Structure 1
Amino acid sequence: MRAGSTLNRRRVRPASRALARTLGLSLPLWLAACAFAPSSDAPKMPAPAHYGAQAQPEQTVSAQGTSQRFDVGAAPVAAWWKAYRSDALNALVDEGLRNSPSLAAADKNLLAAREQLKAQIGASLFPSIDLGGQATRQRNLGVPTFGPPTALYNVFVGQVQARYAFDLFGAARYADTALAAQVDQQARQFDAARQALAANIVTGAIAASALHAQIVATERLVTLAETDARETERRAVLGSASRSDALLARQNAESIAGSLPAMRAQWSSTRHALAVLLGRTPDQAPDDLAFDTLAVPASVPVVVPSTLLASRPDIQAADLALKGAAAEVGAATAQLFPSLSLTASMGKGGFNWTTVMSNAGSLWSVGAAITQPLFHGGALLAQRRSAKAAYDAAVEQYKQTVLTAFKNVADTLSSLEQDNAALAHADAASQAALGVFRDADARVRHGALPPSAARGREQQYLNAHLSTLRAAGSRLSDTALLFYAMGVPPAEPQTASESPAGANVAPSP
């Protein structure tokens, strides 16, 4: 045991000198390690003067007494659903953000990713120290005639072992940077999932409410058409109406009634989907909101294109994917260069407890190892080329994500502008039809017209009213989609690099 210790002592000074020479030679190379990775900055993107093919107006046409203003340059709104001024809608969104299993799963996955980042940083940037103990009983066989007799003996060993790998060229720190970027990307995806959940709840609640209002109007149409059909059939029996008139009236009543099942199925499906978004079972679907109590927001933010890059979680995630890909190139490049590690151990050992507890049982060792890859069948170079290709793909993907975001905003702005125009015309037609119906109803009460005339005018009004309901629902839903398209306020997202585990993992010169 002591002979081994003496041999280790003789090797300490040469190993120390070799370590010093290695560090001296590697310092200039380490300073150059910062160039191992390509630029992690996002490519410059064009800043269009406006999103669509034509510049959006300052405000939309007035529909149902409201003209929506496009507030260009405004910041995104965090709890934008409160702009509808509906306590019931606010309660639904709050419940969904609190109880949604999918959002909770994303939150837990993000927490797991952050803990994995801490584990990798701790394993790569700090030494490892382990305590080990061993107690064995052994039996050695002697050689008959020439060898010693069979021997039984015990061995007791207890050691503290330490190991540290010097990150000379930033391989570990590049790998940590890549993982930190992935965790931050997952955090941005969580922000996007949260905003998408809120938008889906709002649009789902609006759709269910609008469908319910349309079903009520259609049921009234069915009642009127059925009354007309029965009256025409009685008149045909009496000879005051033709058989064709009776058949046409019956066809109209059945056609209108036939539209109800599909509408009711869509309404039920929308309510079931909304219940699941809230974390409920479908049989616990919430009651429909009163459609006429939903106030359309009079002002909607339009973030300028340069600011949209920092407010959209999908663009932020693409930027972080690019940064992670750049760090992966640096890690793959650093793998081509030497690696240096130190090991040390100290403990006690012997064939019995007396020896273990005495100075004679002292054990220790110190060593250094340096490894330079020479031949790996081209694997390391192929890995670097793969990382470089993935980086180039991340650059192009970032560009595509930005362009898609611009298109999303342009489409939503255009849809909202046209929604207001369509609603203005539909509401004007509905009001005109309502006036005609009221006039006809008054004349019927005075005996100037038969009751069928009032029913016909009411049917015309209800058809116009259905168009108004659909246009109003589209305006409410597209307003929510525009709020969603603007992204989140810059101060809202939290990144993995804000935690102690994510700090200072990037290679620095």
Structure 2
Amino acid sequence: MLYTYSMNLCYPYRMAVLAATMLMLAACAAGPDYERPAFPLPAAYKEDGLWKSAQPRDADAGQPWWTRYGDTDLDALVERANAASQDIRIAEAQYRQARAAVQLARAGYTPTLGAAVSASHTRAPTATGSVTTGSESLLLDASWEPDIWGRVRRSVEAGAAAAQAGAADMAAVRLSIQSELVQDYLQLRITDAQKDLLLQTTEEYRKALALTRSQYAAGVVTRTDVALAETLLQSTSAQAIDLGVQRSQLEHAIAILSGRAPAELAIAARPAGALGLTLPEVPAGLPAQLLERRPDIAAAERRAAAANAGIGVARSAYFPSLTLNGSTGAGATSYSQWINAPSRVWSLGAVLAETIFDGGARSAQNDVAVAAYDAAAAQYKRTVLAGLQEVEDNLAALRVLGEERAVQDAAVASASQAARTSLAQYRAGTTSYLAVVTAQTLLLANQRSSLQLLGRQLTASAVLVKALGGGWSAAQLDGAATANALPANTALSPVNSAAGN
């Protein structure tokens, strides 16, 4: 149904009254106001009380979390990744795109202004010859659709929430890159320590081989002892060489994460005694803090807010739209006549339009918006659950690995004593070389297991920091663009439960 108004002397006054009325109606917005999806959280972590035996320092935003490992080479690599990672640049560009979309939606608040200048000349025949006529005109026009039912307002709200989700996504990508690089670097250093251990062990095995050969030459032992010593030496050397594959792959991965080609990065190896890594203690805090500290949870919550605003956009289509039009200008046969009153023209108009029948399109669009919100709310809850699981998994890993490593260190001490005793007995001729080989093999296996456990502990600590948000906070979401994009009476909090109008 289409309504139009005819011109009369009181029309400008009526238009002003109508515009004022529409502005007052615009204080309302279609659709439900947003509340963060309710999700019950446990009072504490299942594993937290069992794992924490002291009061460790916080890993907070005041200090980059990776510096807790005490490795300056690692610090430099992470800082390089922060500046040069292509994944972070992609996320940053997507965030700028989301901010621009907010400004695009905000444009719906303002009128559309246009101007047109035209000139034409016509030559026509007459009874006495021909005549040339001309006309020049200047026209300024404006069109405005007041946001009576909050369609634009909800669109801006949705865009602002999406922009905040983009900011959280960018933080999540950055944290993921940092965590992956730290884990790769820690494993590279553990690989260095294992290789150094194997190289030291091969030197001990060479001495043992020289001993068996001298005893074989003296007729004290059989050729079997020499063969066993040679086998142990060669197999250990092969293990040391094999670690080169893993180390090269880790180094290549670190190069890519830091925005470089593998050929551009070479990380010098370190001996086992100069590992230079500290296992940090990270407090888990409370489960509820994950809602503020994990950027992926904050992003999921903001997407739920955007989907909720989408319901309001869909429902605003049920209501009529009002468009106000106005134009003014001048038209005459020459530019100089524009200043004359008879040459001036103006018009004002209003169109109120309502769709009577659309075959169920608006209802279907509303159903789409409601379903999108339900999916976003469920995704938010699933993200919270995944965060809780990740924290619990790594708290458990640190607790169990700590217990296991203590037992493993005792096993290394016992194996070391057994290796020394068996070698002394072999020199004295009171035992066979098979006992020496067995003891030395057990010692090496336990030493490698101890290093592997340390590597798993270091990795679990890095994953735990990531699971806890890495010192990030939802308060860091960029609210400046959002605040500028919303009308003055709109309250929109990055994570708080109220984001309605």
The alignment's TM-score, normalised by the length of structure 2, stands at 0.83
Cα distance, 1:287 vs structure 2: 1.6
Cα gap change, 1:443/1:118 in structure 2, threshold over 3 Å: closer, same or farther? same
Distance in 2 of aligned mates of 1:125 and 1:179:
14
Q: Tell me the secondary structure at the aligned position of residue 357 of structure 2.
A: coil
Relative to 1, partners in 2 of residues 1:453 and 1:139: Cα closer, same or farther, differing over 3 Å?
A: farther
- Distance of aligned partners of 1:141 and 1:82 in 2 relative to their CA distance in 1, 3 Å threshold: farther
Specify which of 273, 280, 285 is matched with residue 265 of structure 2: 285
Give the Cα separation in 1 of the matches to 2:215 and 2:132. 119
Instruction: Compute the displacement of 1:416 (Å).
Output: 1.0
Contact kept, 8 Å, 2:225 with 2:434, in 1: the verdict is no
Structure 2 runs not aligned, ≥5 long? 492-499
How many residue pairs align between the two structures?
483
Distance 1:115 1:149, change over 3 A: farther
Residue in 1 aligned with 2:87?
Answer: 102
Q: Is the 8 A contact 1:184 1:497 kept in 2?
A: no
2:253 pairs with one of 270, 273, 279: 273
* Change beyond 3 A, Cα 1:218–1:59: same
Change over 3 Å in CA distance of 1:435–1:250 after alignment to 2: closer
Partner Cα distance (1:446, 1:230) in 2: 16
Aligned-CA RMSD value: 3.8
1:490 corresponds to: 473
1:167: Cα distance to partner?
0.3
Matched, 1:318 2:300: yes
Q: Trace 1:457-472 onto structure 2 (pairs within 5 A).
A: 457-472=439-454
SS at match of 1:90: helix
TM-score (norm 1): 0.81
Task: State the shift of 1:319 in Å.
Answer: 0.9
Residue aligning to 1:125: 109
Aligned twin of 1:84: 69
**Aligned-partner residue type, residue 462 of structure 1:** L
Rounded Cα–Cα distance in structure 2 between residues aligned with 1:128 and 1:50: 55
Displacement of 1:482 in angstroms is: 1.1
- Could you say if the C-alpha distance between residues 216 and 337 of structure 1 is closer, same or farther in structure 2, counting changes exceeding 3 Å? same
1:377 to 352, 359, 378: 359
Map 1:41-52 → 2, pairs under 5 A: 41-52=35-46
**In structure 2, what is the Cα distance between the partners aligned to 1:181 and 1:167?**
19
Q: Alpha-carbon deviation of 1:140?
A: 7.1
Counterpart-to-counterpart distance in 2, 1:370 and 1:337:
10
Partner of 2:187: 207
- The answer (yes or no) to whether the contact 1:92–1:278 under 8 Å persists in 2 is yes
Q: Residues of 2 paired with 1:397 and 1:225: CA distance?
A: 57
3-state SS of paired residue (1:57): helix
From the superposition, tell whether residues 319 and 188 of structure 1 become closer, same or farther in structure 2 (CA, over 3 Å). same
Distance in 1 separating the partners of 2:336 and 2:422: 116
The 1:323/1:500 distance shift into structure 2, 3 A limit, reads closer
Tell me by how many angstroms 1:155 deviates. Answer: 3.5
Match of 1:306 among 288, 291, 294: 288
Structure-2 residue corresponding to 1:13: 10
CA deviation profile, 1:397-431 (whole Å, cap 9, x unmatched): 11111111111111010011112112212222223
Identity %: 26
Corresponding residue number in structure 2 for 1:362: 344
- Matched to 1:501, the amino acid is N
- 1:492–1:215 CA distance, 2 compared to 1 (3 A): farther
Q: Deviations over 1:332-368 (max 9, x none)?
A: 1011101112121222223333434533332222111
Q: 1:453 to 1:151 in 2, by over 3 A?
A: farther
Deviation readout 1:455-509 (Å, 9 max, x if unpaired): 7655443322211111111111111111111113437622245554334385976
Deviations 1:108-156 (A, max 9, x none): 33223213312321x11122222332234456799xx9xx998754432
User: What secondary structure is seen at the aligned counterpart in 1 of 2:49?
Assistant: coil
User: Partner amino acid for 1:133?
Assistant: V
Label 1:22 to 1:92 Cα distance change in 2 as closer, same or farther (>3 A): closer
For residues 348 and 469 of structure 1, what CA distance do their matches in structure 2 show?
87
Which residue does 2:484 correspond to in 1?
Answer: 501
User: Hey, what's the Cα distance between the residues in 1 that align with 2:269 and 2:234?
Assistant: 30
Question: 2: distance between equivalents of 1:241 and 1:441?
Answer: 14
Gaps of 5+ in 1: 1-7, 61-67
Rounded to whole Å, the distance in 2 between the matches of 1:418 and 1:482 is 14
1:92 partner letter: L
Please give the secondary structure, in 2, of the residue aligned with 1:340: strand
Question: Cα offset for 1:369?
Answer: 1.3
Residue 253 of structure 1 deviates from its aligned partner by 5.3
Once the two structures are TM-superposed, the CA of residue 317 in structure 1 deviates from its matched residue by 0.9
SS in 1 for 2:458: helix
Mark the CA change 1:252 to 1:151 in structure 2 (over 3 Å): closer, same or farther.
farther
